[in-house]
């Protein structure tokens, strides 16, 4: 019995989310993107087989763009604002949906841009899963 009591705190710690993990972005990704892009974000979702062009591998966005993660570009693609002809028409324009309350993001001091929370969380999550 004593062993169970000693192990209980360890089991509870496994249930506590990592404060550095972007849970909201991952949840948004799993709800809205994983069907096509896959849980691993590599373009292998259950609905990917029937799409032309195939969903992109979202873990290599930074590498495909030559270095740093192109946050503004990624958010504009998710939103539906900036999409080239190479994007599948099957990808929804998420900007037309409720992406939550807006937050003000200041990249330049004194210049704030309102960005929906869910869009920002998705971009943060995608940045966190980039592979070299």
Domain ranges of the chain: 21-128
What is the end-to-end Cα distance of the chain in Å, rounded?
48
pLDDT at 23: 63
pLDDT at 125: 97
pLDDT tens-digit readout, 3-36: 444 433 333 333 344 444 446 999 999 999 999 9
pLDDT at 91: 79
- Residue 67 zone, left/alpha/beta (φ > 0; ψ -120 to 50; rest): left
Residue closest to 128 by CA, chosen among 71, 45, 72:
71
pLDDT tens-digit readout, 53-101: 889 999 999 999 999 999 999 999 888 877 776 677 777 777 766 777 7
CATH T-level fold of 21-128: Cytochrome Bc1 Complex; Chain D, domain 2 (1.10.760)
What's the full length of the chain, in residues?
132
Per-residue buried b or exposed e for 59-68, using 16+ beta carbons within 10 Å of the residue's own CB: bbbbeeeeee
pLDDT at 8: 39
Q: Could you tell me what percentage of the chain is helix, strand and coil, using 3-state DSSP and rounding each to the nearest 5?
A: 45, 10, 45
Q: How far apart are CA 130 and CA 132, in angstroms?
A: 7
């Amino acid at each position: 019995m004593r062993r169970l009591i000693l192990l209980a705190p360890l089991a509870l710690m496994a249930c506590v989310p990592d404060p550095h993990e972007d849970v909201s972005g991952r949840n948004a990704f799993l709800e809205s993107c994983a069907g096509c892009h896959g849980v691993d974000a590599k373009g292998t979702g259950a609905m990917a087989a029937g799409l032309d062009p195939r969903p992109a591998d979202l873990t290599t966005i930074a590498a495909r763009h030559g270095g740093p993660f192109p946050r503004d570009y990624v958010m504009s693609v998710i939103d539906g604002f900036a999409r080239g002809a190479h994007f599948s028409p099957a990808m929804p324009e998420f900007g037309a949906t409720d992406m939550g309350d807006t937050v003000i993001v200041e990249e330049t001091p004194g210049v704030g841009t309102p960005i929906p929370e869910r869009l920002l969380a998705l971009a943060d999550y995608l940045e966190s899963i980039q592979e070299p």
